Structure 1
Amino acid sequence: MAKREIGYKANIGTPTLILIFMILCLVTFGMLSLSTAKSEWNLAQRSAESVTEYYRADQEGEAFYQMVLQAMDHNTLSLELGDYYDAKTGAISTRIPMKRSQALSIKLIPMPQKAEMIAVSQWKVIQTEDYEIDQSMPVWKGGN
């Protein structure tokens, strides 16, 4: 009789392949979750910085508003406000610079018929610089 050799083979069956696939899926989803969490954190930081900057500019705008009220009390708008006051339109305006090429634009209109009344014509954030989105795409055209 011929000798029979008994050999042990490494049996990689279906359960093992499914387990490997599951581990790969979990690692992939874990990495995607970390990437998303980092992006959300960066967005939250930028948003917090933007809100803080707006409220800083708004505080300066409130100080400007109080300065205009005091000038109205003295009836010396053109003397006390200088360049802020436009004698032609009667409007008082300023721009308070902010980060990222923005400014808080304030335009006030004094109402002489009502004692100590100022109408707020404009109080909004505007872009101070035009920006262009680069839509060019460098494509290799061959050659040297």
Structure 2
Amino acid sequence: MAKQEIRYRANIGGPSLILIFIVMCLVTFGMLSLSAAKSQRELAERNASAVKEYYLTDSEGEEFYQMVLEEVKEIKRSAPEPGDYEELLAQELGDYYLPEEGIVTTQIPMAHSQALSIELSPSFLGEGQVWVRKWKVIQTEDYTVDTSMPVYHGGESDNQETGK
């Protein structure tokens, strides 16, 4: 009878250990799933913020484009001679107009050291037109890689001790 009791206890221990192991695995996978979901949510929020900022900046760029187009059309209607167009455009747009290149340019700042760079080319043909030469997001600061962390390169250096 005593031998049967010992055998009965041994049979309970194996399934219990397997059950504990399965529960620990499920808890671990659950925690990993929660961690991945949190990371995905943060990434989606950052992406949404960047897209929102771009479109707000893009709408400012559209307003700038419309302002330049209205100035070109107004100068075309009011200027007596075609030779006066560029001079009047320089007076109206100020620093935005670069007469030596014949373009109107601006940079609308964004976050993370970026800006929306816009270059427009005014044309006084017909009623007056403005052509987009460049409309893109640029970096306003140089990106530098942080190399301050020492990394083992596989060989001995002057700073490493040899242990001798």
Under TM normalisation by the shorter chain, which class is it? 0.7 to 0.9
Q: Is the 8 A contact 2:53 2:110 kept in 1?
A: yes
Distance in structure 1 (CA, Å) of the matches to 2:149 and 2:26? 36
Q: Is the 8 A contact 2:108 2:116 kept in 1?
A: yes
Matched position secondary structure for 2:98:
coil
- Is 1:128 aligned to residue 149 of structure 2? no
Shift of 1:133: 2.1
Shift of 1:15: 2.0
Unaligned 5+ runs, structure 1 = none
Matched position secondary structure for 1:109:
strand
- Is 1:85 aligned to residue 97 of structure 2? yes
RMSD between aligned alpha carbons?
2.3
The structure showing larger relative contact order (alpha-carbon pairs under 8 Å, at least 6 residues apart) is 2
Distance in structure 2 (CA, Å) of the matches to 1:31 and 1:114? 67
Matched position secondary structure for 1:92:
strand
- Of Structure 1 and Structure 2, the greater helix share is in 2
Q: Is the 8 A contact 2:73 2:129 kept in 1?
A: no
Which residue of the partner structure matches residue 62 of structure 1? 62
- Is 1:95 aligned to residue 95 of structure 2? no
- Is 1:36 aligned to residue 36 of structure 2? yes
Identity percentage of aligned residues: 54
Unaligned 5+ runs, structure 2 = 76-87, 152-158
Which residue of the partner structure matches residue 45 of structure 1? 45
TM-score, normalised to structure 1's length? 0.85
Moved over 4 A (4+): 4-10, 139-142
Aligned residues: 139
Q: Which moved more, 1:127-136 or 1:20-29?
A: 127-136
Shift of 1:8: 5.8
Distance in structure 1 (CA, Å) of the matches to 2:13 and 2:140? 66
